[in-house]
Amino acid sequence: MFAGPIKPLLLALMTVLCARHSQAGNLAPSKLRCEHLETALAVESPHPILAWGLVANTSGQFQTAYQIRVASSRDKAAHDRFDLWDSGKVSDSRITQVAYTGKPVKPAQSVFWQVRVWDSANVPSEWSPLAHWKSAPNLSADGDAQWISASVPRPLHQDRQTLHLPPALQFRKTFEIANTIRRATLYLSALGDAAPSLNGKPASEQYFLPGWSDYRHRAYYRALDVTPHLQPGPNTLGITLADGWYSGYVGYGLLLGYGPHKGGRYLYGKDPAVLAQLVVEFENGNRKTVATDSTWRWNDEGPVREADLLMGEHFDARNARAWDTPSFDDSTWKKAVPAGTVPSVTAPFHDTTGQRTVDLGFKKPDTLQSYPSPPVRVVETLQPKHITEPSKGVYLFDFGTNFAGNVQLKVRGDRGQKIVLRYGEMLHPDGSLMTENLRKARATDTYICSGAPEGETWTPRFTYHGFQFVEVSGLRSKPSLDLLSGLVLQSDTPITAAFECSDPVINQLFRNIQRTQRSNFIDIPTDCPQRDERLGWLGDAQIYIRSATYHAEVFAFFTKWLSDLREAQRSTGAYPDYAPYPMAHGESGKPFSSGWMDAGVICPHTLWKVYGSTDVIDRQWPSMKRFMEFRESLSPDFKGVSVGNPWGDWLNQQDATPIEWIDAAYFAHSAQLMAEMAEATGRTDDAAHYRGVFEKVRTEFIRAVIGRDGTVSGASQTACVLALDFGLHPKGGASVIADQLVKLIEKNDFRMSTGFLGTRSLLPVLSKNGRHDIALRLFQSRQFPSWCYPVVNGATSVWERWDSFTKQAGFGRHNASMNSLSHYAFGAVSEWMFRDLAGINLAEPGFKKIRLVPAPPPKQPTSEVTATESPSAPPLNFVKASYDSPVGTIVSEWKREMDTLTFRFVVPPNVDADLLLPASDSNHVTVVKGGAALLKPNEGTPHYRLVPGEHVLRVDEKPTDPKQ
Ligand code: BGC
């Protein structure tokens, strides 16, 4: 083909390329992570978990070995002196869950590591670039950081009728830097919400530091790299301290009269406190520590006049000073005091446990814990779409989508001009802001202009709102769109999912679910971001967690919440309704509920399955065991019980399921998951025990619930769903219950009637039991109640109720006080979209092996449009899904054109995939690309093995001519 001088040239080039390839191998490590984070600056574990991704330049590549090396400094690494660890070549295909087992790492030590991998042909890659982690400091022993507070304690606000919104405190300290800095790390904890600044500039882009915990026992601290913020000579570290979850308004405390004096605030204590330690490492090897103590000065006359998570912020720019710069004169500021010296005060605390006296004074948290989750920060900026003027001088900015976060205000105003921002999720029919569903959350920010002639810019720092609309008043003239931009806040869990199909309403539904997850993964998984609730409800978390894992990398985020959950566990062993748990709600003395408390078992189980981490099991195990002991003590005869809060199948459509059945179903399910986790971690006796418990509860469930004909007696849709989902039926009895479920759906005019618990598994059990057609019909249904119903009624997020708002009835169907427009629970259908419709599933924990089972609608013999699709929806003739799994990106796509179904898959390097194709037999399948290997020919559903790389397969659906 090639002739003349080109040929030798080409050959030479190919030789060079091949040489480079063979030298570097066909696999390269990428995206190194430590403890599931890209930046881990306070790693507590002596054996942190390391992981990396793989990039392949040919298909079919597997990692046959790896080598990790670790140095105690960048210099040493640069000189090939890996003094902490050299794993040597380890013949192992693992790329996640690799524990560091090198020399012990000293506290607050920087560690530099890299990895290389061997490909299928046993050729090593180049070494990866260096990655970095830092071990946790020994904060109590190392340095003299003290908890400090303002020296003038605040009065205890006792009047429930008026809001109490004290100004934020400012703490400052000036210090000298005389040497060349190598690195500076600020360790910061607070009983409150702290924002650090250095030399007049914010020292971190993170919000709500240090994070929510039960502060009386445990507080998080953050490790912040502040190297770029320091300068030679004098420096000033400032900390603005607001009430946060510690002493500000939390949840529905004010609404329901919980907390000290029934006021809904001071749930953990009265006076915020802060603890900080700045460690500066110099090039000459010396260190300098600047720590909070009583040499710090404080003031409460700064610009932040109000700062409350629920109520909003008030910022008076006239008070802004360069207070956190060295030249500022703080001689009139007061001296900070050790927090323990602030006189304590007691108050009657009210909640459904009953009234008791609590001490609201400082209590040093028993534990300081490094924040294990990605921080909350701005992850996206949105521009408003349009402005209306519903009444004279009042402007409404519409961001076009419901989200959680803040705005940035850019204004040129007169000195003292007051601009008020109110937030809402929707408008009333007259175009005014709808705020009734916020209940007691005032959600109002106020900005007082300094009058700077060049204009001024501000964003609230100590609050967030759930909203689509912002009402602005106090402007002197009609604003333009650039007055505001929307700042989307979220615990920065990297997004891992993409989904598109031929039904635009479903595409919007997917975006809504994605958006609603963002809005509610803010430090903890909250139920909603807008009203006075924002609590980490367990039921919502357990039904949604599997969907969440498709949407984003949530391991570290949920690890944080599981700590909060363990801490919230009651002395009886029960997991309460939400975590953190600062106030008891519901049934007095029994603050738990079936299906909600089981999150304590379901969530670790899901994290283990998806991310392959058995550590998460080990960490939760003692707590889960206590919980199961509690569950077993509730039901010594293995029967379901009705005790605790009766949320049941919450928000079902007049189709309630007896609580005892729900309880038994979840008791059995928890026992089964415990058995699986016990097995995975070598707890053989426990495995046998929980398998026994499962069998006993299952037997009792069948006795109580399943009739002679194998159906669920007096069934609700949810009862059938739970029986199928958790295997609570006689052997071989699933099809009877599946038929029964389909009949119930048909009788209900093809509508679901399930609540939180049933909805999550409704489509999965239908698809699993041969009724994928019905699952698809419900999925695409536009009629009430359905996933698409809110979308066709204008939703840009997932609503608490299917009919939270309707075009015909507005908000009329529900009391707006219990009507969140950003509630992820019903978004739990993503799990089915990815796992059952696109067919991306795990075959082994951590996706080490994957299972591809794509499931297009069954082909109808006579028409292109399948008869089972929802009548008003377009045919579902293609789906494209991609998922950045823990082991790499998995793609599954299918497309139906006339009589042909085409499938495309991408399998990440190092992963084995099983593919089950929906075709009657392999004779109708053509392998177009990628060399899928057929396993078990002539045995029904074609079953292939796919190696890493791209694969295309075509299924011929042409009906065979009966006459032939
Ligand atoms: C929350 C729910 C939660 C429920 C308990 C509500 O107020 O918003 O999502 O699970 O209470 O039934």
* pLDDT of residue 330 exceeding 70: yes
Cβ distance 483 to 466 under 8 Å? Answer: no
Nearest ligand 1 atom, CA 540: 10
| pLDDT confidence of residue 553 | 97
Phi, psi of 630 (to 5 degrees): -65, -45
Phi, psi of 519 (to 5 degrees): -65, -20
| pLDDT confidence of residue 140 | 66
The rounded Cα 948 to chain-centroid distance in angstroms is 29
| pLDDT confidence of residue 941 | 87
Whole-number Å distance, alpha carbon 650 to ligand 1 midpoint, is 8
Q: Give the relative orientation of helices 555-568 and 615-634 as an angle to the nearest 10 degrees.
A: 40
**DSSP assignment string, 460-513:** -SS--EEEEEEEEE--SSPPPGGGEEEEEEEE---B-EEEEES-HHHHHHHHHH
Q: Which of 256, 583, 647, 800 to mutate to test the pocket of ligand 1 (most atoms within 8 A of CB)?
A: 647
Task: Select from 189, 206, 196 the least CA-distant residue to 39.
Answer: 206
| Average pLDDT over every residue of 818-832 | 97
The Cα–Cα gap between 237 and 173 comes to: 5
Whole-number Å distance, alpha carbon 67 to ligand 1 midpoint, is 48
Whole-number Å distance, alpha carbon 536 to ligand 1 midpoint, is 9
Task: Select from 927, 930, 925, 929 the least CA-distant residue to 940.
Answer: 925
Whole-number Å distance, alpha carbon 335 to ligand 1 midpoint, is 44
Whole-number Å distance, alpha carbon 261 to ligand 1 midpoint, is 24
Task: Select from 821, 823, 825 the least CA-distant residue to 424.
Answer: 821
CB-based pocket (< 6 A), ligand 1: 527-528, 533, 537, 539-540, 647, 650, 825
pLDDT in tens, 845-862: 999 999 999 999 988 765
Nearest ligand 1 atom, CA 577: 5
* pLDDT of residue 574 exceeding 70: yes
Q: Which of 439, 526, 540 to mutate to test the pocket of ligand 1 (most atoms within 8 A of CB)?
A: 540
The closest residue, in CA terms, to atom 6 on ligand 1 is 527
Q: How confident is the model at residue 138 (pLDDT cuts 50, 70, 90)?
A: confident
The rounded Cα 240 to chain-centroid distance in angstroms is 27
Q: Find all residues with CB under 8 Å of 833, minimum gap 6, and list them.
A: 499, 510, 881
* Residue at 598: amino acid letter: D
The dihedral built from the CA positions of residue 631, 633, 637 and 641, taken in this order, carries a sign that is: negative
| Average pLDDT over every residue of 325-333 | 97
| pLDDT confidence of residue 809 | 87
Whole-number Å distance, alpha carbon 538 to ligand 1 midpoint, is 9
* pLDDT of residue 9 exceeding 90: no
Q: How confident is the model at residue 869 (pLDDT cuts 50, 70, 90)?
A: low
* pLDDT of residue 154 exceeding 50: yes
* pLDDT of residue 15 exceeding 60: no
Q: Which of 520, 526, 527, 822 to mutate to test the pocket of ligand 1 (most atoms within 8 A of CB)?
A: 527
| Average pLDDT over every residue of 864-884 | 79
- The bridge status of strand 297-299 relative to strand 334-335 is antiparallel
* Residue at 618: amino acid letter: D
pLDDT in tens, 596-636: 999 999 999 999 999 999 999 999 999 999 999 999 999 99
Return the bridge partners of 524, or none: 522
Q: Find all residues with CB under 8 Å of 106, minimum gap 6, and list them.
A: 135
Whole-number Å distance, alpha carbon 596 to ligand 1 midpoint, is 10
| Average pLDDT over every residue of 160-169 | 97
* pLDDT of residue 47 exceeding 60: yes
Nearest ligand 1 atom, CA 820: 8
* pLDDT of residue 116 exceeding 90: yes
Whole-number Å distance, alpha carbon 527 to ligand 1 midpoint, is 7
The rounded Cα 659 to chain-centroid distance in angstroms is 29
| Average pLDDT over every residue of 266-274 | 98
| Average pLDDT over every residue of 36-64 | 95
The closest residue, in CA terms, to atom 12 on ligand 1 is 647
Collapsing DSSP states into helix, strand and coil, what is residue 200?
coil
Whole-number Å distance, alpha carbon 331 to ligand 1 midpoint, is 50
Cβ distance 292 to 148 under 8 Å? Answer: yes
**Average per-residue pLDDT for the chain:** 94
| pLDDT confidence of residue 143 | 60
Helix, strand, coil proportions of the chain in percent (round to 5)?
25, 30, 45
